[in-house]
Chains A and B, each alone.
Chain A
Amino acid sequence: MDVAMRAGAAAATAGPNHATGRSAATRRPRVGVVKFASCDGCQLTILDVEDHLLEIAERFEIVEFAEATSRRSSGPFDVLLVEGSISTPEQAVEIARLRAEAKLLVAIGACATAGGIQALRTAAEHEAFRAAVYPVPAYVDSLATARPISEFVHVDAELRGCPISPEQLVEVLVSLTTGRRPQLPDQAVCLECKRRGIPCVVVARGLPCLGPVTRTGCGAICPAFGRGCYGCFGPREQANTAGYAAALVWQAANPAGDDPNAPMPPPDSRRPVDEADVGRLFAGFNGATAPMRSITDKLGGRPVMPLRATLASPPETLLGGPPRWGAMPADTIKSEDPDGPRG
């Protein structure tokens, strides 16, 4: 189970009072929000629960949240929300320091819980990636791969998703003040899809959908928007990705199903036609997790290293003084050099 908190960890907020046993926080729990390699979307979600934001600010003491406040603190934290994957040596050291400061550490989002899309690169490819990305790789320090927080320190709870769900975030905060277990279902997206009465896009349209092997939590928005799930919340419990990938590969070859006189589903560029297409489906934001990885290892789908991604003439690297404002000579712009200055 994702939410496996250490006993008494939430005591700071869930201590019973004399009669009701209801949470009687003697002081507001100190909350920190930090990020590693990520898009900031998950911590932005905290600011996106507009209806609860000010109440949250009253019930919790937000002592560290660089994106939202200038006040900085190094802890200790009752709850530390951690976004992003560990991608540099400095980050590996930093997360260990933060863990020691935090009573509860909650990893939020696909980057923190599964490494994120950036975790698709393998150690073998790392140097090639770095060389391809930066003219002078030496200036850039990064680990061979991007890894989830739980590979470096103990994680008390995980909020899945790319991005996380605002409802689940509030659910976790509420459970901290009430002492109850947050309801973070680990079942397939299909359950929510069916509850909403959305016709299955696999069956009715022949579209590829990761819903059956993906954890619910998003509200089944992709099928609701007429497309297949692409796995934002990562593998559901006991995901049978092998069985499903096999079925998708078969369907790629037999889009109409096994009924000889069945009609073809309406043409759609998103429908897989070969194994590689199916493979790429599993190489998403949670593609580094074992159930997904086991498929891409077989079918491929992880990013192809651009072997010729070296620069004919790398952009010059600037040193020394700061840039100064100045007028741009007209001719430099008007130059119609077809390939631009990069040559």
Chain B
Amino acid sequence: MGHGGDLRFQVENLTRVEGEGSLHLRVRDGVVEEAHLAIFEAPRYFEALVVGRTPDEVIDIVARICGICPVAYQMSAVHAFEDLFHVAVHPQVRALRRLLYCAEWIESHALHIYLLHAPDFLGYPSAIELARDQRELVNGGLRLKKAGNHLLSVLGGRPIHPVSVRVGGFSRMPDRAELVALRPSLEEALALSQATVDVVTGLEAPAFEREPRLVALKHRSEYPLNDGRIVSNDGVNLRASDWGKAFHEVQVPWSNALQARAGDGLPYLLGPAARVVLAGEQLHPLAKEALVRTGALESIRRNPYRSIVARAIELVHVCAEALDIIDAYVKPEAPAVAVTPRPGIAAWATEAPRGLLFHRYVVGDDGKVAAATIVPPTSQNQAAIEADLATFAPAVLDLPMGEATHRLEQLIRSYDPCISCATHFLDLSVEDAG
């Protein structure tokens, strides 16, 4: 594959990503002139679909934006509304929401590591082929995933689109016994996740380093899930409701998804790597210990392929924290507190498995949503992915086409892009709809 002239490089259908996207590069004389991550997931217009709905209805609806991280959408929404309505939820409600988020992270991270990403490193087209040779490895991953799904079912009725979250708390909270019964599977999950860290640390990552701008939530005492301030490694420090003060969305002609850029129009990176780097001190002791054991902190920051290590470390964290929350759980008198809706702007950001997820709703005098803005992690990471492609592509262009394609897909997958989330988002200004 020579350098001379005009080279067009196309990956028609990205596989092992959630949703439908394609990659297009134009390279001239070894220089990437175009790097387009095209997302052709069909528009679903969610931001219009929530208009006229009550906050509780919105929680059910936005979950449908993504079947992989529905809890993240429910969490950003419920926190946004409770922030506007000045709702003080019961401490156990807050804890149980973290537990619900932990469950989703376990499920999502295990899915990505074992079924989507690991096959790349080990040279298999899918986990199914991988399972033929390393059944135990894949089985472990599936048991991890199942532990997360099981926890989701106990807390929300089902793993995908759980039904229990409502403004003010939950529609039902489990008896302590129901949660305690989950300990064994979570203890196994913890052990499996610790083993996972060692496995993925050993995976050979292509040499590729850059200095990304990292953005994540940060909380003084907790590893970022539903709460914290938006911070970056170059000085951003905002309330979780103020995403719009530093970032904004743009549209690119080659994609159905709006992209997000920082105020200066430059890309930034979200997700496990950003969180581990920015909020490492808040990791659970067991996760910290694992991180130290890997000695991979620096490479996690600089090499996108190492995000799989960050993901594994977060697995350790959420398994460990889930157990802690269960041990401290006492079922409250009432699962939810009464809520008085008030008009205004409800905004909040939480940490989806793949990065910061920002919701912003205009609530009218009738207590119903008048306008909405939802900025999922993948549309924020899109620019970062393209930037990485532009930087990294020249290094693989000498490889055979198939191999080069594989390397670039692997790079994209390392962001765990959730394309179905990234599509169809509506942009509204306060003044227009307020």
Contacts and interface: CB of A to CB of B under 8 A. Distances in A.
Contact of B251 (A57, A66, A134, A313): A134
B433 interface: yes
Interface size class of A (residues with CB under 8 A): 35 or more
A319 B250 CA distance: 11
A316 interface: yes
B146 A51 contact: yes
B266 A328 contact: yes
B34 to A, nearest CB: 6
B61 interface: yes
Given A41-B160, A309-B428, A341-B244, 18 more contacts: A35-B20, A40-B67, A40-B418, A54-B139, A91-B42, A117-B44, A133-B425, A134-B258, A227-B166, A270-B56, A306-B48, A306-B433, A308-B432, A310-B432, A322-B386, A324-B391, A325-B267, A328-B268
A342 B17 CA distance: 31
Given A40-B18, A132-B48, A328-B264, A343 B68 contact: no
Nearest to B149: A48
B126 A87 contact: no
Contacts of A317: 250-253
A318 B252 contact: yes
B245 A335 contact: yes
The 5 nearest A-B residue pairs measured at CB: A41-B67, A340-B244, A69-B126, A221-B157, A332-B263
A115 B46 CA distance: 14
Given A308-B433, A321-B34, A133 B48 contact: yes
A299 interface: no
B171 A227 contact: yes
Contact of B51 (A53, A136, A305): A305
Interface stretch (B88-96, B190-198, B207-215, B310-318): B207-215
Interface string A82-125: 00100110110000000000000000000000001110110000
Contact of B68 (A44, A87, A91, A134): A44
Most buried by B among A70, A120, A269: A70
A252 to B, nearest CB: 14
A224 B42 contact: no
Contacts of A326: 264, 266
A260 interface: no
B91 to A, nearest CB: 20
B125 A339 contact: no
Interface in B292-345: 335, 338-339
A324 B390 contact: yes
Interface in B386-434: 386-387, 389-391, 406, 409, 418, 420, 424-433
A39 B65 contact: yes
9 contacts: A67-B15, A118-B45, A163-B158, A224-B172, A232-B161, A280-B52, A308-B433, A333-B232, A339-B244
Interface of B: 13-20, 32-36, 40-54, 56-57, 60-61, 64-68, 70, 111, 115-116, 119, 125-128, 131, 135, 138-139, 142-143, 145-146, 149, 156-161, 163-164, 166-168, 170-172, 210-213, 232, 234-236, 238, 242, 244-254, 256, 258-259, 261-268, 335, 338-339, 370-371, 383-384, 386-387, 389-391, 406, 409, 418, 420, 424-433
A130 interface: yes
Interface in A207-230: 218-219, 221-222, 224-227, 230
A289 interface: no
A304 to B, nearest CB: 4
Interface of A: 35-45, 47-48, 50-51, 53-54, 57, 62, 65-72, 84, 87-88, 90-91, 116-118, 120-121, 129-130, 132-136, 139-140, 142, 146, 162-163, 218-219, 221-222, 224-227, 230, 232, 267, 269-270, 280, 284-285, 303-306, 308-319, 321-330, 332-337, 339-343
B51 A57 contact: no
B121 to A, nearest CB: 13
A311 B251 contact: no
B48 A221 contact: no
A234 B86 CA distance: 36
A68 B47 contact: no
Nearest to B426: A133
